[in-house]
Structure 1
């Protein structure tokens, strides 16, 4: 296989730019789906189970899309870009429809569609970095990808708050998602599609060599299910070791996404979602009391999303520093990941002690350090240990270590909070902190090759 040329900053930037839109989708989903669910009447301890569609979808979609993208070659769009485009169109449609859901089952179903569509676009992006960059630039590529993700997280997390400040109403009747959230999701849909198109139009992929193309045809003839299963059974030891770290890392962030809104609105802002059944809205005084309680919750949810955005801003700053460093000298990836997960764990744990909302900025800034590392270091540690001809397949299988812990959390987090922690949602974030600390300790099983450049 011919040596890959080094790419310049703008080439790598354009190649990764589509992740801005992908992260808009993920940030709006992660920051505001629980708010939508609660607005539509969901109990807080039922929220993790309502989220289960997302990881279940990823478990099925990611390995299949990874395999298919390895064996695709379109004369115009190449190997990975057809999946970017299809995923972007479907995701944008789901984002527009989501906040207009009129019932809980509709929102849960649209979450399923949204997450499947985002995964169609996202999974091949990881493989594209490994496809295009030589080994010595891969850490730089994954870190730059993380920088763009950080920008998307921060901006998207603040969209409902910003739209409200522009004069769009942040209030609505019982069971109706406020117009500010509807407008924010529509903006997210536009950014998703536009940023993916930037990558599609500015990035060219290397065509498969004749031997590789022949091997791909043979593999398709043998059947993709068999190959996926064999790849799972014989995955590299490095993948298993990093996968254990990923398990605890993503359990932590799933707990945050599903429980931050109920946990922080209740514990820090003292403005929990009101239970409509507790109010007789036919009585004017009760109707007004519900209106005031709902307005307080929606405003607190806006601020919770805005404070969550600081983990995106922090990850952006960390990624920027790492990109400057990785562009000039090797990174000790394992050490960077250990320190980052430890700081993120402390950030989550500190949220329990926060009494003034502004202190959440510091907590989420620490979480952002972990997020920056989670989005880059595991992939950089893994990329040189897998067959480049099966990069999409193995990246898809590796992402199973992302979705399996989310399924575990979706199934067990609600009962754990209800039976062990008095149904106090803030303990979902305490669990996040403990999980990141365990993940950091699991890095003892991961190997850093001293001969590899960053």
Structure 2
């Protein structure tokens, strides 16, 4: 028994909710450095404040993936998580601009970023698995291409809000030095758009029941307890390695007076070592169905294709997080010539960053539907992704060398093409090569290789910049270009573990 093929409107409805989710991410990515700096954060404080985003993703996505694989109620399997996350994200977006009214505005804004990012992750992770749930294998690439188009379109809308509102006469500088009206109204409009878009998908799509999914999958050789049983055979040595690594980082921070953000890195290493030891102990006791043993077991027993794509994702998302943190400081300082957040030049530069982000997301939306299918037919998914990452690296090099605001629009074209491929190609490959009944947890675990590099950027990068290039954030763009070139090279290793039938791209 095979899944029915979806029409264009079926693909539309399945992914339309991502349009709203990405509006939320775009408002966050293009405005939070501006909000933090406006509320008094220094350039050195930004990585620590931004660490909320990857940390919440690291914790939330594997848990939500595990739970959604096992959920079935009146709303379905994935839709309960779409809706819950959207409600809380909408609330966080609405109250974020009210931070100056609170006694500790910077702390309040940082707390709301945690709530916002956690909620967006609760909605986003099931959407990744949702495409695999609802589509036949030969429509996976088309499904993720449509999803990427909505991601790009939502990001365009979210990114352009402040720029557009300024040109409609809304004040772009707050008289009291607080958050400008352009940012406030952008967040409030984004809150409503996010909730409505997710509701559209919840209302228009009926999920397949567990019985229907089992019939579609046929004989699928995956047992729920198998990864945990394999975990029981592992020694505690790997857990000890993680614990020792964490202890070494914590000691180094104390001994050498390193940046305080590195405490988080050391703590995470140690915590994972402790949790993996507990998971091994539970598995050895025969308790193989608990969440911790299942997640750790699935992580340690990832399929080979997922391991190789994980390397690609690690380097890809390192560069993206550098871009989201540093584009505003780079453009305002080097192109518009100001680091004073109360000046007209700084705020003009910050709005130009919104336009730049609009361009790369708009390019991504078009590339997902037009360029990626053509590239994939000609070169295959693997080489297509490698080419797109190389084009993105060239875009980052332009930020390092170019000081003309208009010319940076061209840089965003290359970055936009790479962004489209990052959002589509790895997920299409995974959805076609992973067991359906564990798609949620594997997609959640795959997210680890998105958030860990972001955590490293938020911790280690700040220390490196302080040592080598204090007050010169433009050097981060050169680093971003280098790591995308590494990612492009790593992608070529994926080809060897893919069945030839899964290397192309299909159409709706």
**Alignment TM-score, normalising by the size of structure 2:** 0.81
Kindly report which structure 2 residues correspond to 1:315-326, keeping only aligned pairs within 5 A, or say none. 315-322=364-371, 325=374
Cα offset for 1:309?
1.1
Determine if contact 1:48/1:259 at 8 Å carries over to the other structure.
no
Cα offset for 1:223?
1.5
Unpaired runs of 5+ residues, structure 2, are 216-222, 229-286
Helix, strand or coil at the partner of 2:209: coil
1:70-93 C-alpha deviation (Å, 9 max, x unpaired): 111112x11000100000000000
Helix, strand or coil at the partner of 1:384: helix
Query: CA 1:331–1:142 in structure 2 vs 1: closer, same or farther (change >3 Å)?
Result: farther
User: In structure 2, what is the equivalent of residue 142 of structure 1?
Assistant: 144
Kindly report which structure 2 residues correspond to 1:335-350, keeping only aligned pairs within 5 A, or say none. 335-350=383-398
Q: Which shows bigger deviation, 423-432 or 342-351?
A: 423-432
Determine if contact 1:71/1:217 at 8 Å carries over to the other structure.
no
Query: CA 1:211–1:365 in structure 2 vs 1: closer, same or farther (change >3 Å)?
Result: closer
Query: CA 1:343–1:217 in structure 2 vs 1: closer, same or farther (change >3 Å)?
Result: closer
Asked whether 1:205 is paired with 2:207, we answer yes
1:270 corresponds to which of 337, 346, 355 = 337
User: In structure 2, what is the equivalent of residue 160 of structure 1?
Assistant: 162
Separation in 2 of the partners of 1:221 and 1:408? 32
User: In structure 2, what is the equivalent of residue 20 of structure 1?
Assistant: 19
Helix, strand or coil at the partner of 1:222: coil
Cα offset for 1:355?
2.1
User: In structure 1, what is the equivalent of residue 362 of structure 2?
Assistant: 313
Q: Which shows bigger deviation, 33-42 or 377-386?
A: 377-386
Q: Which shows bigger deviation, 203-212 or 62-71?
A: 203-212
User: In structure 2, what is the equivalent of residue 449 of structure 1?
Assistant: 499
Cα offset for 1:164?
1.4
Kindly report which structure 2 residues correspond to 1:27-106, keeping only aligned pairs within 5 A, or say none. 27-75=26-74, 77-102=75-100, 103-106=105-108
Separation in 2 of the partners of 1:294 and 1:354? 23
Cα offset for 1:175?
4.8
Cα offset for 1:221?
8.9
Unpaired runs of 5+ residues, structure 1, are 275-292
Separation in 1 of the partners of 2:325 and 2:213? 46
Helix, strand or coil at the partner of 1:446: helix
Asked whether 1:11 is paired with 2:1, we answer no
1:296 corresponds to which of 340, 345, 356 = 345
Helix, strand or coil at the partner of 1:308: helix
Q: Which shows bigger deviation, 444-453 or 23-32?
A: 444-453
Separation in 2 of the partners of 1:330 and 1:402? 28
Separation in 1 of the partners of 2:112 and 2:448? 22
Cα offset for 1:422?
3.1
The runs of at least 4 aligned residues of structure 1 exceeding 4 Å deviation read 210-213, 215-221, 322-326, 328-331
Query: CA 1:256–1:117 in structure 2 vs 1: closer, same or farther (change >3 Å)?
Result: same
Helix, strand or coil at the partner of 2:472: coil
Q: Which of structures 1 and 2 has the larger relative contact order (alpha carbons within 8 angstroms, sep 6+)?
A: 1
User: In structure 1, what is the equivalent of residue 198 of structure 2?
Assistant: 196
Q: Which shows bigger deviation, 376-385 or 329-338?
A: 329-338
Helix, strand or coil at the partner of 2:47: helix
User: In structure 2, what is the equivalent of residue 133 of structure 1?
Assistant: 135
Determine if contact 1:85/1:197 at 8 Å carries over to the other structure.
yes
User: In structure 1, what is the equivalent of residue 184 of structure 2?
Assistant: 182
Asked whether 1:362 is paired with 2:429, we answer no
User: In structure 2, what is the equivalent of residue 122 of structure 1?
Assistant: 124
Helix, strand or coil at the partner of 1:451: helix
Separation in 2 of the partners of 1:217 and 1:243? 24
Asked whether 1:421 is paired with 2:469, we answer yes
Cα offset for 1:173?
4.0
Cα offset for 1:124?
0.2
Cα offset for 1:385?
2.3
Query: CA 1:331–1:140 in structure 2 vs 1: closer, same or farther (change >3 Å)?
Result: farther
**Alignment TM-score, normalising by the size of structure 1:** 0.91
Determine if contact 2:224/2:289 at 8 Å carries over to the other structure.
no
Separation in 1 of the partners of 2:208 and 2:367? 31
Cα offset for 1:216?
7.5
1:120-152 C-alpha deviation (Å, 9 max, x unpaired): 000000000000111111011001111111111
Separation in 1 of the partners of 2:211 and 2:112? 40
Separation in 2 of the partners of 1:430 and 1:94? 34
Separation in 2 of the partners of 1:268 and 1:211? 54
Determine if contact 1:263/1:428 at 8 Å carries over to the other structure.
no
1:251-298 C-alpha deviation (Å, 9 max, x unpaired): 100011011101111011112234xxxxxxxxxxxxxxxxxx523211
Helix, strand or coil at the partner of 1:17: helix
Separation in 2 of the partners of 1:431 and 1:91? 32
1:375-426 C-alpha deviation (Å, 9 max, x unpaired): 0001112222211101101000001110000000000122222221232112
Cα offset for 1:43?
0.9
Cα offset for 1:11?
0.3
Separation in 2 of the partners of 1:175 and 1:23? 28
The number of residue pairs the alignment matches comes to 432
